[in-house]
Amino acid sequence: MESVPYLEQYNYIMKLIEANCIKPIKASPKNGKKPALFSQYWSLESTNEYAEIEQELLYKLNAEIKIDYYQKHLNIYAKERLGVLLLSEFLSKHSELLKVKVSYNERCMQIWGYEKYLAKEAGKTLLKHCGLDLSFLNCYSTAEPFSYFSLHRDTPQKLLIIENKDTFFSMRKALLAGKQTLFGENISTLIYGAGKRILSSFQEFAISAEPYMLAEGNEFLYFGDLDYEGIGIYEKLAQLFTEQGKIVPYVAAYKLMLAKSTQVPRLPVTKEQQNKQLEGIFWHFFDQKTIDNMQSLLQKERYIPQEILNIKDF
């Protein structure tokens, strides 16, 4: 009795194979019956659908979109198809909008109707599959706006970037009280760096800064903790800022930090997991004796926080 149903099943499977609806996975074991069948099969029911999207890839997408990857991975194109079609439509109908640089979120709204499309990994992957770089979309990233205090907007002027909040407020208080100079420097604007956050803020400085800050002839100074991290922030910032000019360490303030450190019974221990690989840019602005004192301090795993200076010093 058993042989009849099995033969029906076998014949049915054979018909599915002939109709290209399924394909045996030849690495799978056979079922041990006669006639034998493989135990596992690929479903090919989407063959017709893939034929359609293959034609779509060849003839319907904007020429800027590279189709090589999708031709080899039709199943992935099927998943990403809507996003690709929206991008293709934008490039075909509104490519002139790419001439105006906008933020990533604004561009995502123009193309996909979802402002965080490229913030998600899937969005970046789709763009890569299309053979396009992020730069192709002509966007800028928007960091958190930096906080600053300005006595005036006359130019040229000196602007001081300060790593920590307490020092920013103390210097601001001194300037508001009528102090004309800070350690011999005529500072007109204070910018609060908020530690490493200043690096992301300054990546698009030309877009986020007040116009007077971009004036020719302005000078930028940097002042942070005297440790590997503080020095590292300065060096990365100096490399980011090459288009706008040069940022130099606030030499007088660092020297005063060193002088005051001799009055402290025990300096704090260097924080763990700091990157000790410095470029060496920082040292170029100091005399050899000061460099030796700073490097000796770091080698002893000690550091001087900015907060060693206070309103009385300013």
Kindly report the three-state secondary structure assignment for every residue of the chain: CCHHHHHHHHHHHHHHHHCCCEEECCCCCECCCCCCCECCEEECCCHHHHHHHHHHHHHCCCCCCCCHHHHHCHHHHHHHHHHHHHHHHHHHHCHHHHHCCEEHHHHHHHHHCCCCHHHCHHHHHHHHHCCCCHHHHCEECCCCCCEEEECCCCCCCEEEEECCHHHHHHHHHHHHCCCCCECCECEEEEEECCCCHHHHHHHCHHHHCCHHHHCCCCEEEEECCECHHHHHHHHHHHHHCCCCCCEEECHHHHHHHHHHHCCCCCCCECCCCCCCCCCCCHHHHCCHHHHHHHHHHHHCCECECHHHCCCCCC
Whether cis (ω within 30° of 0) applies to the bond prior to 35 is yes
Alpha carbon distances (Å) from 82 to 75, 112, 123, 139: 13, 9, 12, 22
Whether cis (ω within 30° of 0) applies to the bond prior to 156 is yes
Place of tokens 């060096």: 235
**pLDDT tens-place values along the chain, 314 residues long:** 344 578 878 887 887 777 666 788 888 888 888 899 998 887 655 555 677 788 888 889 999 999 999 988 888 898 899 999 999 999 999 999 999 988 888 999 999 988 889 888 788 999 999 999 989 999 877 766 678 888 899 999 999 999 888 999 989 998 898 887 888 889 999 988 876 677 666 666 766 778 888 888 899 999 999 988 889 889 988 887 766 668 899 999 999 999 988 888 888 888 777 777 788 889 999 999 999 999 999 888 888 888 898 888 87
- Both ends of the chain: CA-CA distance in Å? 102
Q: How many CA atoms lie within 13 A of 6 on its CB side?
A: 10
Is this model's pTM higher than 0.75 or not?
no
Q: Which of 186, 197, 188, 187 is nearest to 164 (CA)?
A: 197
Q: What is the pLDDT at residue 1?
A: 38
How far, in Å, CA of 118 to CA of 102, rounded?
A: 14
Q: What is the pLDDT at residue 275?
A: 72
Q: What is the pLDDT at residue 21?
A: 66
Q: What is the pLDDT at residue 24?
A: 86
Q: What is the pLDDT at residue 204?
A: 67
Q: Would strands 247-249 and 219-223 be described as parallel, antiparallel, or unpaired?
A: parallel
CB 118 within 8 A of CB 124: yes
How far, in Å, CA of 84 to CA of 151, rounded?
A: 51
